Amino acid sequence: MENNKPLSALEKLRAAQKGNSASQGNQASANNKQPKQTSTALASFGVGSKLAELQRSTVPTNVAGVNVEDKIHSKINSEATKKQDDVASKMRAKVELVIVVDRSTSMFSDSSRESVEKEINDGIDYLIDAERGKDTQVSVISFANDSRTHCYRQHVSTLSDINVDLDGGGTALYDTTGDTIKKMEKSLAAEDNNFKTNKVVFAIITDGGRDGEHSNRYTESQIKKLIEAKKLDGWEFILLGAGTTRAKDWAPDLGVDPKMAENYSKKRGGLTENFKAITGVVRQLRLNGTVDASWSDGVRSKMLMLEGGGR
């Protein structure tokens, strides 16, 4: 038999409070569960703690007709697009890439001239292909008793079929390096202010050592002064040495930072890694403005694999 006795005012108040409490508890439970599904995704995008905090709050998913989830995902997409645009902008930086490579007789003392020649030319092709689509100008100068310019400040978009012939001779490294720095310095000074070069990367590949007898215009100390002066202007110098050359030991005497020097193997397959490493340096400089120690990992690994040692 139902009790139809009317509720007192106090009983009505208590019943209303109990109903509100249960409703609030259910809403809080739903809000606590929902953000856990998105907070991990937010963190992985690196959007920031403010958005994650927004998701952890008890703000409804729809406020005044605005979908909060849509706003969050819009923010994520905006941040991702900004990062992509930033990377693209850095990769468009104008780079001057200079390769000074040894073509003396000793370069093919451990392998045939044809195989070394092929590795050098394949390496140059690799480097050019890696720079396609970027604002990179390339200069390739080889040296023995004298120097030869195979291309000078030529944009990668127009480069093809560069061939360095190893016809042998001595190692006029100092004269070639000094002449090339001076020539490049003069060219850069004449650039239009609207098209200034952002970075110069100057790489030397040789198996020779201190070559006083084959250079008559520059000494080692003069080259050191030139290189140190250009480093102050932001030029990056790389020294890749083999044979009697211990690159890291020799680098300070040339003004090159030892961390930007590495020994490579003259055995078949060793030369190619040099050009891959140079490409890596250009990429790091574009993206980060600096170069870390990993730039020469490939050269060092190939050296260990082919010769079981190195410095």
Write phi, then psi, for 188 (nearest 5 degrees).
Answer: -65, -35
Taking the C-alpha atoms of residue 36 and residue 42, their distance in angstroms, rounded to an integer, is: 10
Q: Provide CB contacts within 8 A for 40, sequence distance 6+.
A: none
CB 197 within 8 A of CB 155: no
Average pLDDT rounded to a whole number, residues 257-267: 93
For the CA atoms of 204, 205, 206, 207, what is the dihedral angle to 10 degrees? Answer: 140
pLDDT digits 0-9 by tens, 89-148: 444 689 999 999 999 998 988 888 999 999 999 999 999 999 999 999 999 999 999 999
Q: Can you give the residue ranges of every domain in the chain?
A: 94-307
Taking the C-alpha atoms of residue 147 and residue 6, their distance in angstroms, rounded to an integer, is: 111
Q: Does domain 94-307 have CATH number 3.30.70.890?
A: no
Q: Which of 41-50, 126-135, 175-184 has the lowest mean pLDDT?
A: 41-50
What does 256-282 look like in DSSP terms, one character per residue? --GGGEEE---STTHHHHHHHHHHHHH
pLDDT over threshold 80, residue 266: yes
pLDDT of residue 85: 41
Dihedral sign computed on CA atoms, order 207, 213, 214, 217: positive
pLDDT of residue 53: 56
Lookup result for tokens 């020779």: 208
Judged by DSSP in three states, 151 sits in strand
pLDDT digits 0-9 by tens, 47-88: 455 555 555 555 555 666 666 666 666 666 665 555 544 444
Q: Which of 109-113, 260-264, 294-298, 303-307 has the lowest mean pLDDT?
A: 109-113
pLDDT over threshold 90, residue 11: no
